Amino acid sequence: MDYREFFSQFKHLSKKRGTGGKIKVYPEDFIVIEEPIPSIFEGRKYAIFLLKKRNWDTMAAVKEIAKRAGISHRDIGFAGTKDRHAVTYQYISVPAEARNRVEQVEIRDVELRFVSYGRFIKLGHLLGNRFRIIVRDVSEDALDRTKEIVRELREKGGFPNYFGYQRFGERRVVNHIIGRLLLQGDFEEAARLFLGAYDGSMEGDEARKNFWETGDVERALEEFPGFLRYERTLLHRYKETGSWKRAFLSLPLPIMRIFIHAYQSYLFNLYLSRRIEEGLPLNEPLVGDIVVQVKGGIPYRDRTYRVTETNIEFVRGKVGKNQAMVSGPLFGFAMRRAKSLPGQLEEGILEEEGLSLETFKKLPKPMAEPGGRRELLLRPIGLTYGYIPEVGMCFRFFLPKGTYATSVLREIMKDH
């Protein structure tokens, strides 16, 4: 199953016919510019560089920079991972004493420019990202259709804030399934899927196919290519311990969390889709809903309050002024639960999946997930668009961190 088939289960909020078209035909069609939090430029212990990359994963680029500069990749900080099939600009921090070595680094399709001194950049140290995106191969009436869809969605309060396909895997759409298996304590089946799932179009698929059919660890260690380093780590650790659980726990924590977060994201998308399907409003709070505060268009997900019979008119006013947004569940052991009708919808999803919030606490300690809330709607800031003859539609907008440009375009293109 590819990501288009996977995403077809999630409902569109817009009823209008989409424009069709293709994104990321060329890396230059998808430009991402990071907006960091200003405090990264405070201090003198680290040198801050602007990293421009083309057709590079963020982590792969960071590791290559570290290798060429003779430092540990763990000493390089960045605020978030960026699309590979794109031209992206983001800030990285390196130890101040490594500035000269990093300035000497030359890598194809990677540019580094020293900006200033500052602090170590951690994941999440950004406000959001600016995008410039070209959609090619669109129909002749793409501009008119876009106008209709944007008008319709503005009336409905925004775009559905789905987690994008990047969260689940573009070709091997299995991250969320692995997460579910880990929650269920089925480390063996999780390992089988992580190691053996293949789509037939990627390097290493023959080795994955063989493992899927035989489960032969020795053969897999011979056949798995070196670039599948996490898969090889898992295989080596299993060979040493005979335990798939211990093998998983040998992986870096961010890698393990990818799977749990993907499953949480799947459940959030499911909740959002069900709410659309059942005709429940996304831009109007219901009694029992949890709303998140909004300031300057940026949601503050750690500042929430529950909608009750007594405060509902007050909350409606806040939502109407874009000072609050209705949220959905990121299931976890410390998540603030909705009540009444929204709460019943949340509970129904948990029951279908055979879960309780406590399940997220029973994971091995490093992987235990507290959960939280996430706004149901996405409001691109400064959205502009136009038609370029013989090229296609061009979109520009800013999105807060943790949201997906592909989810905005999905609603316009209706391609999946």
Catalytic residues: 83
191 in Cβ contact with 234 (< 8 Å) = yes
Name the token pair of 147: 């106008």
Backbone angles phi, psi at 148, to 5 degrees: -65, -45
381 in Cβ contact with 397 (< 8 Å) = yes
DSSP string covering 121-172: --TT-EEEEEEEEEEES--TTHHHHHHHHHHHHHHTTSEE-PPPGGGT-SSS
Name the token pair of 186: 């089925």
158 in Cβ contact with 65 (< 8 Å) = no
CA-based Rg of the chain, rounded to a whole angstrom? 22
* Closest to 6 in 3D by CA, of 186, 183, 202, 164: 164
322 in Cβ contact with 398 (< 8 Å) = no
Name the token pair of 260: 């749990």
Q: Return the bridge partners of 30, or none.
A: 133
End-to-end Cα, the chain, rounded Å: 13
